[in-house]
Amino acid sequence: MSSLEVSIETASISTHNAKRDEDLRSPRFFHVEKFPTMAYRSTTIVAELDGQWTVEGNLTIRDVTLPVPLSVRLTGIVDDPSGNIRVLGKAEAAHLD
């Protein structure tokens, strides 16, 4: 069974604009002091054609969880140091209707 779990430190997000980044880290947006991470966990993964995948899952930001579908393009497959197979890809939020 395949799964996808991602944890992102909210303070690590960079737009390469210091003023915007400061605002994103503030309580107005990510509130990094209170919510140091955001997380995405898949619920289903479906292989499509030509290395494309559709991933359904839940994104949690500031203790609010909402479903967010992803469109993922396969970019490679590697063995990690523990002998597990890891699939690498680039993900974008799928278009929501």
Q: Parse the chain into domains and list their residue ranges.
A: 5-93
Q: Which CATH architecture has domain 5-93?
A: Beta Barrel (2.40)
DSSP β-bridge partners for residue 37: 9
pLDDT band for 47, please (50, 70, 90 cuts): confident
Structure tokens at 65: 């969880």
Question: What whole-number percentage of the chain has pLDDT above 70?
Answer: 96
Task: Please tell me whether residue 66 adopts helix, strand or coil conformation.
Answer: strand
pLDDT tens digit string along 2-42? 788 999 999 999 999 999 999 999 999 999 999 999 999 99
Q: How many Å apart are CA 53 and CA 97, to the nearest integer?
A: 18
Whole-number pLDDT of residue 86: 86
